[in-house]
Every structure is written in structure tokens, then in C-alpha cells.
Copies of this chain bind each other. A is one copy, B any other.
């Protein structure tokens, strides 16, 4: 039994855990739910228990560490969740130290979208690159920026807010205070909102708009063209700023790729003169919901590499 790590994906309701070895093989998995109403101490204790079980099943000695993907802003150095709208009670709670205390194993926290970006680099669409940007289309739009194999955090862990890039300065109002944020024009929520404006009914979902578009409904198709336009403006900005080889899209609206991709690429070609010159790729994520789990599991391996490097420097 060689070295392995444990990745944890802490969702708003789900708790998913996997033991993964350094070659990316999944050795064990757990999938359950987390009861946030019981308070953070109780959730943390449940996480520790699951990790303990997985570890007992796989190997007690080979565990390199535990990575946890959390949907919120993380103070990486302090190991604290600074803000997490979907994790009631977790704000300013010392998640890392509490779990570390219970398990005696190094714990690394990371924002879930950043973890997903790392996961796609390690075992997904970005296996051949060290620089990529992941854009996750969901209720909102999140993302992760990986520079030279490492997550770009910024000085308070708030980098990668791709969903709040302005794509239409006078566009739809956003809860953040801005108008025309990318996520107000290209998220699943935005697709449903446009569906309501197109009189598809008050309970219309992005999936329903997708089905209508597949059936040839012109208004539904125009919604996805509009999504492609917004994504294209955002992607062209990213390409002009970063000149990375790879940009990955993930999330619920991905099956509608053929509906939004043509206008998306049209916008990107028009708005980024670097795009066509060097084989820049815009692709679909391949790990789906597992990306965050893989990325979380990669964190302890990555930190270990750093430690070995800095150890031999000193």
C-alpha cells in the first residue's frame, strides 16, 4: 500500500469523501449528507468520523493528509472559513484545526471551485498543462485560476471571482452591487431567468429551456446564444489577460454546449487577437462533480512536493 490522500467535498447538503493514491486511483469512497442545523462542531465531528472510517479501510500508515473543498472564502493560512453563505455557522470557525485535532493528520482547506480547477489539472481536461482557468456554471458562476500548477489565491483568498466580471456594463443587476456580471448572463440561474422573461412559465428551469431549444424553439435557442455571447466576452478577457493554453467550462448547463458554443467562439475570436494565434483551447471539463474531490485529494500531495523542495533548499 503506497501513499494516498483523502479528499473531502463539503457541499451545501452533501458530504463526499474519497481516498485517492498519488496516481489518481480512487481507493475508497463515501457519499452522505451533512446536517448543518446541528452546528459546525457536529458537522466537523461527522467529517472526522467518515475520514477515520475511510482511513481504517484503506491504510492507517499511508495517509499523506486530507484536503477539504469548501464552498466559500477561505483564509488559507489560518485554516478558517471567512465566509460561506451555504454553510450556516461556519463563518470564522476554525475548521482545519478542529478536524486536525480530532484526526492528528495534516488538513488543508481550499475553496471548492479552486479545488475543482486543481482536480481538472491533475486528472481531468488539463493533465497536459500547468496553467488553466476553470469556469463553473451553476446557480452562480465560480472559477479557479491555476498558475504554474498552483491556485492563484490573491491576498485574501478572493481571486478567481470570474462570475463577477462585468460583461455588459448596463446589464442585469447582481446581488454583489454590480450590473452585468457574467453570472447574471450565463449561469443556470440566468438561463432560467431569461426563460421566465421569454414567458416559458414562472417555474421554468435551465434544463427545461435546454429541452425547448433542442426541440427547435427559437426563443429558447436565442437564450443559449445570449449565454454564449456573455461567456465569449468573459473568456476573451481571460485569454487577453492570462494567455493560458487552456480554459475549461463545467457545471449543469454543459450538455447545452452545442447550443452556446458557436456564439461563444465567435465572440472569443472577435475579441481576443491572441486566441487564434497559439492554439488556445476552450474545452469541457471531464471529471464532472468529482473534480473538487480530486483537487482536494491533490492538495496534500502538492504541499508535500513543496515541503520536499524547500527542505532540500534549506
State the A residues within 8 Å of B (CB): 131, 145, 147, 152-162, 164-169, 176-179, 233, 236-238, 240-245, 270-274, 277-278, 309, 312-313
- In the complex, A21→B139 CA distance in Å? 54
Q: Is the CB of A166 within 8 A of B277?
A: no
Given A155-B131, A169-B233, A313-B313, decide whether A240 and B273 contact each other with a Cβ distance below 8 A.
no
Q: Is the CB of A154 within 8 A of B244?
A: yes
Partner of A157, one of B159, B161, B243: B243
Partner of A155, one of B145, B152, B243: B243
Q: Is the CB of A155 within 8 A of B313?
A: no
- In the complex, A268→B243 CA distance in Å? 24
Q: Is the CB of B244 within 8 A of A241?
A: no
Beyond A166-B237, A176-B273, 8 additional pairs, beta carbon < 8 A: A155-B243, A158-B274, A158-B277, A164-B272, A165-B237, A165-B240, A166-B236, A177-B273
- In the complex, A243→B245 CA distance in Å? 22
Q: Is the CB of A155 within 8 A of B233?
A: no
- In the complex, A236→B157 CA distance in Å? 16
- Chain B residues whose CB sits within 8 angstroms of the CB of A313 once the complex forms: 309, 312-313
Q: Is the CB of A242 within 8 A of B154?
A: yes
Partner of A240, one of B161, B169, B274, B278: B161
Show 6 A/B contacts (Cβ-Cβ < 8 Å), sorted by A.
A131-B154, A147-B147, A160-B241, A161-B240, A164-B271, A238-B241
- In the complex, A177→B158 CA distance in Å? 32
